[in-house]
Structure 1
Amino acid sequence: MTARLQKVPDGFTATFDRHYKHTVDEVWAYLTDNELLSKWFPELRAGELGTGGSMTFDMGDGTYEVMGISDYEPAAVLEYAWGEDKIRFELVAEPGGSSLRLIETISTITDHTPRDLAGWHVCLDVIEALLEGKGFVNRKHAWEEQYKVYSGLVERMRNS
């Protein structure tokens, strides 16, 4: 399911909603346990979890960006800095599984925005595949397809 991109007073939000046939605890582990986190986002690591804690992004060139956690409720909310923006995961139990909402708060749309949105979309697909015990065959191809979708979405938002 494609994210909803909306104009808000301080910029934009991209909201991804997913339902997983797995418990809140199982999904939460993929967001916070470094062993599982590395399976869907190899560059990202959880540091100390909690408000005031941090996530770390490996820039791939020997440097790391430490991103502060601004909101945290165990097995429910994880929000952290994402460059100049924010990433927020909200997790809720539902009949037959759980609902995950990812909200990216975007201060300014840039040429990189559709890349990030396509990346988050594919990451959520990979989490689902991992939860189901399946491999994710061609992540690069999936990203390229989503990049086309999000490039169009971002372009329409810029022109509105």
Structure 2
Amino acid sequence: MSVLATIEKQSNYHIATFKRPLLYSIDAVWAAMTNNENLQKWMSNLEIIELRKNGKIHFNMNDGTGTFEEITITDYAEKEVLEFDWGTDTVRFELSSTDDGSLLVVVETLQELTEHTPKDLAGWHICLDMLTDLLNSVEHQYFPMEEWQQRFSEYKKLLNTVK
């Protein structure tokens, strides 16, 4: 059972922070995050096109039409940082070594809290659970909607305490 993200109010935006201690090396986690074959197993909409600062990621609609949105990589340091635009927000993955493996910190900068925010946070939460599962050699055939529903209601409650 993974811990919910923390949400902090800054002057005119909010920061949601997910922390995942992982029993795997930075190399293993980075490969799971950035190798498209692995990436599709925990975040099926994302496809990295150019892995570099100002590079591109496609957010594929996966609806059979081949439609995608292009996302810009806004910050990048190999095996350390991957940050990209997420609508009007940004999502930043930071990876560091620990005695037991590595720590993955995912920070979403939220320009405004909307009805969609708890859905988005629940989605990242489940995707990070799926990333952890993938590292543990467990692959999901389908997105776990029941778990997402549970997290969605938890994030809704959490956000009510933040506003």
Same structural fold, with TM-score higher than 0.5 when normalized by the shorter chain: yes
**TM-score (norm: length of structure 2):** 0.92
Cα distance in structure 2, aligned partners of 1:155 and 1:119: 18
| RMSD (CA atoms) | 1.4
Q: Verify the 8 A CA contact 2:41 2:139 in the aligned structure 1.
A: no
Cα distance in structure 1, aligned partners of 2:59 and 2:49: 10
Paired residue secondary structure (2:151):
helix
* Equivalent residue for 1:139, pick from 121, 140, 144: 144
> Which shows bigger deviation, 55-64 or 112-121?
55-64
Paired residue secondary structure (1:130):
helix
* Equivalent residue for 1:151, pick from 135, 150, 156: 156
Q: Which amino acid aligns with 2:122?
A: A
Cα distance in structure 2, aligned partners of 1:59 and 1:83: 14
Q: Which amino acid aligns with 2:24?
A: H
**TM-score (norm: length of structure 1):** 0.94
- The aligned residue for residue 79 of structure 2 is 75
Deviation at 1:136, TM superposition (A): 4.5
- The aligned residue for residue 38 of structure 1 is 40
Cα distance in structure 2, aligned partners of 1:133 and 1:36: 11
- The aligned residue for residue 17 of structure 2 is 15
Query: Runs ≥4 in structure 1, deviation > 6 angstroms?
Result: none
Following superposition of structure 1 onto structure 2, how do residues 99-114 of structure 1 map, counting pairs within 5 Å?
A: 99-114=103-118
Deviation at 1:140, TM superposition (A): 1.0
**Which consecutive residues of structure 2, in runs of 5 or more, have no partner in the other structure?**
none
**Which consecutive residues of structure 1, in runs of 5 or more, have no partner in the other structure?**
none
Cα distance in structure 2, aligned partners of 1:81 and 1:89: 12
Cα distance in structure 2, aligned partners of 1:134 and 1:149: 25
